[in-house]
Amino acid sequence: MPIYRPTVAEISRSALCANLAAVRHHARGADVLAVVKADAYGHGVEIVSRIFQSRVRGFGVATVEEGINLRRLGVKKPVLILGTLWPFSSFAVAARAGLTPTISSISGLKGLEETARLTGKFLPFYLKIDTGMGRIGIRYDMASALLEAAASSRRTVCSGIYSHFASADFDPVYTRLQYERFSSIKHAAARFPRLARADFSMSNSAGIFFSPRAGFDLVRPGIALYGLQPSAVATRKLDVAPALAWKSRIVFLKKIPRGSSVSYAQRFIARRESLIATVPVGYADGYRVGLSCVAPALVRGRVVRVAGRVTMDMTMFDVTAIPGVCVGDEVVLIGRQDDRRITAERLAALLGTINYEITCGISARVPRVEVA
């Protein structure tokens, strides 16, 4: 579809590939399953999956719907559904699309076995072990019965066994404990020939970079692939580069006298004669109301700030101090312009949230455009 509004998210192919290379370097030979849930963390799953298709072992998604969408986009690689499937009738949908479900319980395994019987297919799955994340997965100290059931199933095959680090970016003691718990699971699984051949996977982005010895057979990078930091409290920064730049352009300029207000609720009052630029981006695009009056952007290589409240479709910026500013000038909301940069982390700090929420929150009406 043609783009008529000058508000886009540019996705850098070179940054994505460089980030994947950094992941591989730290993964020390482990295969890569690229996590592309939530529209590739807001970066556009169509672009990201196309770039990574020939470069990774497979993809990770959160839901059956996301997996089906990957198949519609032509993805042939294995696709792991990282969330729990419920109701069990969704196993049949996943099977038809060639998706690999996560199993966390005896009842879930029985549901998959019944689906295999009804469809006449031999279905793969991954076992999820909870070593301390507390989200999904059977607890590590209660997993023996599930391991035995998985090993004895004749209609399904356990392709992988995985867990998830909770604090690998800042708590090495807890991370070590989780690693030891998962290592004990791997040792227990070795008693069963059918499980010993499964891929073992522990590391998310933080685990890959901060605990490389925990890579096992397969790593599951998410946020690192997109060049974002796993948390604001990480012990050090990952050597990755942001792949997303969010840009728009000035579509209207207006001089206002001292004392005039801008936008709803009169939160911005001009302290001098001011030049106000209107930019076609708003909270319906994911540029949140909490950024009102505080968020920086870049125009002509200089920092400007939101003037007044962010509205649904438009946001105003005070560009009084920018010489020569005119309609059509580029406005960088996230990304680099000249020698300055606005990061997703910076906007997240202003909102009291995390960078994941910033990029995931960029709405679908902002086109994702692949650039070099």
Per the prediction, the chain carries an average pLDDT of 96
Q: What is the pLDDT at residue 1?
A: 76
Q: What is the pLDDT at residue 342?
A: 98
Q: What is the pLDDT at residue 364?
A: 97
Task: Note if 226 is an active site residue.
Answer: no
Q: What is the pLDDT at residue 231?
A: 83
Q: What is the pLDDT at residue 85?
A: 87
Confidence of residue 303 (pLDDT cuts 50, 70, 90): very high
Smallest CA-to-CA distance from 180 within 141, 144, 150, 206 is with: 141
List alpha helices for the chain, DSSP H.
Answer: 13-27, 37-41, 45-52, 64-72, 90-96, 106-119, 144-152, 172-189, 193-196, 205-210, 344-351, 355-360
Q: Among the CATH numbers 2.60.40.10, 3.20.20.10, 3.40.50.1820, 3.90.1310.10, which is that of 13-225?
A: 3.20.20.10
The percent of residues in the chain predicted with pLDDT above 90, rounded, is 93
Smallest CA-to-CA distance from 325 within 308, 305, 295, 301 is with: 301
274 vs 292: CA distance, rounded Å: 17
Q: Which residue of the set 76, 254, 255, 264 is catalytic?
A: 264
Whether residue 308 has pLDDT greater than 90: yes
CA of residue 120 relative to chain centroid, distance: 35
368 vs 148: CA distance, rounded Å: 46
CATH homologous superfamily for 244-371?
A: Lyase, Ornithine Decarboxylase; Chain A, domain 1 (2.40.37.10)
Smallest CA-to-CA distance from 164 within 200, 124, 194, 213 is with: 200
Whether residue 326 has pLDDT greater than 80: yes
Task: Note if 264 is an active site residue.
Answer: yes
Q: What is the pLDDT at residue 215?
A: 85
CA of residue 119 relative to chain centroid, distance: 33
Considering Cα of 133, then 137, then 142, then 143, what sign does the dihedral take? negative
Q: Which residue of the set 37, 41, 179, 287 is catalytic?
A: 37
Q: How do the domains of the chain map onto residue ranges?
A: 13-225, 244-371
Q: What is the pLDDT at residue 335?
A: 98
pLDDT in tens, 104-157: 999 999 999 999 999 999 999 999 999 999 999 999 999 999 999 999 999 999
* Token pair in block for residue 134: 């507390």
Report, as an integer, the average pLDDT of 246-275.
Answer: 98
DSSP lists the bridge partners of residue 291 as none
Q: What is the pLDDT at residue 19?
A: 98
Q: What is the pLDDT at residue 255?
A: 98
Q: What is the pLDDT at residue 232?
A: 78
